[in-house]
């Protein structure tokens, strides 16, 4: 019988806290978990990333930068090999320049799907994903101050730069989060990434 995890994802060093809770199969591969994280957070998957389980790290591709005995490919690794029970956690790092650190924690290691749950779905969250390339947590803090201050000389530029990032919002809203939109995207991801029977 397939087992499911309820995961809490928190973006570290950002105030107010940006968090999501979502359901994934316990045996999900780390490359697919990366896809899910990108969707539930609202990132654009335009930068490198890695998973850290203690000293062991998993990446998408091995190159000169990632070529040591503590680095392995994420595609062949399953989540339940590392996280097995409630409270187990790991780090997910996105964009090594901005260094967005996320903590993933198992809040339920034997989640029972409800009638309206997909096998991968978002249960909730709060606050917006920062814009890509904003400069990490310090840059995002400064960005939020600027867009809240119309008198700031950079205000108009920042509003224009960030317009269109959020559906229906001309001006970036740090409190924005829409679970229904996230789940619509996840449902498309599920359809297109499922195994298909070939002749």
pLDDT, tens digit, 9 for 90 and up, residues 76-110? 899 999 999 999 999 999 999 999 999 999 999 99
Cβ–Cβ contacts within 10 Å for residue 46, how many?
Answer: 10
Instruction: Note whether 147 and 172 are within 8 A (CB).
Output: yes
Note the pTM of the prediction, 2 decimals. 0.93
Sign of the C-alpha dihedral, residues 1, 26, 18, 139? negative
Q: What is the pLDDT of residues 174-191, one digit of tens each?
A: 999 999 999 999 999 998
Looking at residue 167, its pLDDT comes to 84
34: left (phi over 0), alpha (psi -120 to 50) or beta: alpha
Of the ranges 1-5, 8-12, 92-96, 133-137, which one carries the lowest mean pLDDT score?
Answer: 1-5
Contacts 24+ apart (CB under 8 A), 77-83: 77/29, 77/30, 78/27, 78/28, 78/29, 78/30, 79/5, 79/24, 79/26, 79/27, 79/28, 79/29, 79/30, 79/33, 80/3, 80/5, 80/26, 80/27, 82/53, 83/5, 83/109
Q: What is the pLDDT of residues 40-86, one digit of tens each?
A: 999 999 999 999 999 899 999 887 666 677 889 999 899 999 999 99
| Domains along the chain with CATH numbers | 4-127+177-193 (3.10.290.30), 129-175 (no CATH)
Using alpha carbons, select from 91, 93, 71 the residue that is nearest to residue 83.
91
- Please check the confidence at residue 10 and state whether its pLDDT lies above 80: yes
Cβ–Cβ contacts within 10 Å for residue 52, how many?
Answer: 14
């Amino acid at each position: 019988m397939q087992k499911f995890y309820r995961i809490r994802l928190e973006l570290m060093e950002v105030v107010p806290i940006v968090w999501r809770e979502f359901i994934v199969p316990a045996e999900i591969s780390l490359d697919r978990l990366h896809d899910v994280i990108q969707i539930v957070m609202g990132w654009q998957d335009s930068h490198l990333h890695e998973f850290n389980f203690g000293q062991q790290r998993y990446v998408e591709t091995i190159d000169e930068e990632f070529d040591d005995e503590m680095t392995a490919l994420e595609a062949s690794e399953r989540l339940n090999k590392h996280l097995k029970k409630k409270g187990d956690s790991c780090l997910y790092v996105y964009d090594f320049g901005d260094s967005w650190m996320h903590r993933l924690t198992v809040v339920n290691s034997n989640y029972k799907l409800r009638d309206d749950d997909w096998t991968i779905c978002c249960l909730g969250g709060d606050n917006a994903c920062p814009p890509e390339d904003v400069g990490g947590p310090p840059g995002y803090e400064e960005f939020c101050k600027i867009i809240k201050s119309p008198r700031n000389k950079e205000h108009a530029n920042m509003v224009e730069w960030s317009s269109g990032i959020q559906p229906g919002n001309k001006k970036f809203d740090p409190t924005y989060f829409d679970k229904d939109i996230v789940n619509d995207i996840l449902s498309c991801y599920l359809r297109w990434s499922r195994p298909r029977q070939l002749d």
